[in-house]
């Protein structure tokens, strides 16, 4: 397999797209998961769904694949399917924040405001440093015309992103992009020098890309 690193900027928020891609064809559940996440990051959402479903078919207890599948369903507006996939991920690994954020967004799009709030708040309890959860709450409260709560959560998300920016500046980088690229390139070098799959997984966990 080979590494692909894509870094982009959406508005004022940095989006780091970091995924494994197979060289020719996937052979196992991990390959299909990595392929699916790569497709999702590239906006090829139906291909992402297909690959992630194949990963789950090969490993029905693959929590990360269910979580990623939920995210893929969310972006193609299949909200009920997104919620179902996230619930399956949570049933396997209950203490991960990501599927709750996706569920919150899906519930919101279905008009289930309280369920959306509950899901985002659960994500924050699991990971208080996750700006996406605060942004989710900000959007929900803004739509509900609770402007104070919307402002509070938006500011919290902004603060978390600002911490990354400050760390980059203190480390002598000209931008957050440069800082993140440097950190990830160092990790990619370490991973490429390491043939042990378990050590690779530990490094990716340390970066926060898998749990």
Burial class for 172, CB neighbours closer than 10 Å (0-12, 13-18, 19+): exposed
Burial class for 170, CB neighbours closer than 10 Å (0-12, 13-18, 19+): exposed
More confident residue, 90 or 186: 90
Looking at every residue in the chain, the average pLDDT score rounds to 76
Proportion of the chain above pLDDT 70, given as a percent: 65
| Confidence check: pLDDT of 170 > 80 | no
Joined tokens for residue 172: 């002598």
| Confidence check: pLDDT of 23 > 60 | no
Quick one: pLDDT band at residue 73, thresholds 50, 70, 90?
very high
Q: What is the mean pLDDT of residues 167-181?
A: 61
| Confidence check: pLDDT of 141 > 70 | yes
Proportion of the chain above pLDDT 90, given as a percent: 39
């Amino acid at each position: 397999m080979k590494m692909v690193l894509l870094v982009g900027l959406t508005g004022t928020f940095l989006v780091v797209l970091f995924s494994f891609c197979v060289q020719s064809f996937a052979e196992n559940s991990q390959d299909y998961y990595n392929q699916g996440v790569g497709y999702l990051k590239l906006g090829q959402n139906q291909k992402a769904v297909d690959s992630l479903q194949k990963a789950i078919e090969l490993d029905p207890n693959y929590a990360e694949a269910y979580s990623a599948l939920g995210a893929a369903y969310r972006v193609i507006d299949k909200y009920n399917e997104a919620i179902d996939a996230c619930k399956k991920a949570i049933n396997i690994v209950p203490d991960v924040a990501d599927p709750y954020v996706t569920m919150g967004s899906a519930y919101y799009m279905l008009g289930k405001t309280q369920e959306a709030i509950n899901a985002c708040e659960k994500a924050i309890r699991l990971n208080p440093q996750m700006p996406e959860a605060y942004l989710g709450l900000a959007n929900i409260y803004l739509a509900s015309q609770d402007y104070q709560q919307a402002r509070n959560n938006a500011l919290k998300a902004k603060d978390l992103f600002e911490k990354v920016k400050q760390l980059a500046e203190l480390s002598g980088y000209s931008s957050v992009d440069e800082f993140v690229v440097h950190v990830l390139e160092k990790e990619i070098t370490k991973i490429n020098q390491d043939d042990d799959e378990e050590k690779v997984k530990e490094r990716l966990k340390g970066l926060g890309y898998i749990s």
